Amino acid sequence: MQDNHINYVEFKAKDLETVKTFYTKCFGWVFTDYGPDYCAFAESGLEGGFERSNETIVNGALVIIYHSKLEHIQKTVSEQGGTISKDIFSFPGGRRFHFKDPAGNELAVWSDK
């Protein structure tokens, strides 16, 4: 993994079983479940996952950038005009935060450190 590179993409889905079946049968993606509300996919060219959500899906993808120094990059994002939309939180495998860029696009940054 390299700092500042897109490393993961995350989608939302109301029905994880349906979406897993769709991508497996259409494209041969392989899934790993992480509890009832999240599954990760592989063998797609870029790793990613689906989060169960009952929200109306407007922009279905969350682009996730890797950075080894999470607190440092969060500060830099804020200093450069980004808005932190979700503060640093832990999840299985690491920690991350979400931000909105000056145009209003939401992205996330994660670290395994």
pLDDT at 55: 84
Helix (H, G, I), strand (E, B) or coil at 37: coil
| DSSP conformational letter for 93 | T
Q: Quick one: 33 and 75 in the same domain?
A: no
The pLDDT assigned to 1 comes to 82
> Per the domain annotation, does 113 fall within a domain?
yes
Domain range holding 88?
67-113
Short-list 100, 94, 77, CA closest to 4 = 77
Indicate whether 1 belongs to any domain: no
Count: domains in the chain: 2
Q: What is the block-wise mean pLDDT of the chain (113 residues), using blocks of 10 residues?
A: 91 92 90 96 92 83 93 94 95 94 85 94
Extended beta strands in the chain, E state: 6-13, 30-33, 38-42, 48-52, 61-66, 83-91, 94-100, 106-111
In terms of domains, do 49 and 73 share one?
no
Does residue 74 share a domain with residue 53?
A: no
Clarify whether residues 98 and 71 are in a common domain.
yes
Residues 52 and 88 in one domain: no
